[in-house]
Structure 1
Amino acid sequence: MTLSGLIVPPGEGRILSTPAQHVTFKVTGEHTTTASTFEVVVPPGFDVGAHTHGRAEELFYLLEGELEVLAFEPEVRTADSWRGWRTADGRRAVRAVPGTLMLVPPGCPHAFANLGDTPVRMLFQVSPPTYHETYFEELMEILGAGDPVDHEAIERLRVRYDIEQITPLRHDAGVRQETTPTP
């Protein structure tokens, strides 16, 4: 028996795209039993909103650009925005730059937002595989259906995929108007 690995050159993989969103499936459940791997372009003004996953473990690695990121249980969860959250020992969301890695275990609140004016590129892994593959396919259909975005459809989708949304997902430039509180 001959074993073979998988090599996915730059720009290749299964691509899902809308005018504002871009996801490239690099490694899927078809290739591994460990973790799906995607390259994700986060558009300016996109805020995934704080949320948790009951079963999934996620890893984010920033390749290009800057994101505001959070991965902790805050002292107090607020429903409107995660950007002011802090832990009992004073930790807050941080500015992630290329090379930053964020690991999120199941149940841990996490979020990211592109507060800049240019798209951000990150590598994203989720275990178990296939967990987010069909989610991304369905999400891209909703986001690509035109304005206004059907937030109720996104909410139903997230519930089906074991995602507890804590603060709203935002996809417009309005998120860039917020400022990060200083510790």
Structure 2
Amino acid sequence: MTALTPPGPEGLLLPPGHGRTVRTAAQEVTFKVTGAHSRMASSFEVTVPPGFDVGAHVHTRSEELFYVLEGELDILAFEPRVRTPDRWQRWESPTGRRVTRATPGTVIAVPPGCPHAFANPTDARARMFFLSSPPPDHERYFDELLDILAAAEPPDPPDPTAIAELRTRYDIEQLTPLRHGH
């Protein structure tokens, strides 16, 4: 009698253009590696339209990594001298660091507790690869955000209280406003 060896673990191979895509009025996010595939991190491909500004925010538990694939983005990843509630693009760190214009190939690592933001100040879309640890917080956040956006009755905006509660639940402290369009 021959003993059968159980199959070993298998990795995930995801061809270009594959993954679950969600679209909001502001962004397109394609889930690449989810909490179902990894205990370490979730990953996404994010399309950032012209004029979109995620707003400065901070996570106390999450760690993130961004890699710019296409286009240009203004990027913040430092604690400013003063956290003003308006334009993070004017912030400066105690060491004199300022917002950076990121181009393809730029990597941004954001540890827990570090204020960060990205915005597309150009007239062309930008794309980035995004890693978030631990999973699956960002996956669940986007799913719940879509539910809130779907419940909005145009031309009325989505419920700001529901969005604020969602962000709090998913470890997102919004420091400056999220903006759409130039």
Q: 2:163 aligns with which of 154, 157, 172?
A: 154
Number of paired residues?
Answer: 173
> Root-mean-square deviation (CA), in Å?
1.5
**Structure 2 counterparts to residues 31-180 of structure 1, below 5 A:** 31-143=37-149, 145=152, 146-150=154-158, 151-171=160-180, 173-174=181-182
Rounded to whole Å, the distance in 2 between the matches of 1:148 and 1:112 is 26
Per-residue CA shift, 1:110-139, capped at 9, x if unaligned?
000011112111101100010111101122
Rounded to whole Å, the distance in 2 between the matches of 1:4 and 1:161 is 30
Per-residue CA shift, 1:120-171, capped at 9, x if unaligned?
1110110001011110112233345454432333222111111111111112
Rounded to whole Å, the distance in 2 between the matches of 1:120 and 1:112 is 11
Return the TM-score normalized by structure 1.
0.89
Unaligned runs of 5+ in 2: 1-6
**1:19–1:78 Cα change, 3 Å:** closer
Per-residue CA shift, 1:4-44, capped at 9, x if unaligned?
21111111011112454211100001001010000111111
Larger radius of gyration: 2
Rounded to whole Å, the distance in 1 between the matches of 2:120 and 2:146 is 18
Amino acid corresponding to residue 12 of structure 1 in structure 2: H
Is 2:26–2:52's contact at 8 Å kept on the other side of the alignment?
no
Unaligned runs of 5+ in 1: 175-183
Amino acid corresponding to residue 167 of structure 1 in structure 2: T
Return the TM-score normalized by structure 2.
0.89
* Percent of pairs with identical residues: 61
**1:41–1:141 Cα change, 3 Å:** farther
Find the residue that maps to 2:98 and give its secondary structure.
coil
Q: 1:24 aligns with which of 14, 27, 30?
A: 30
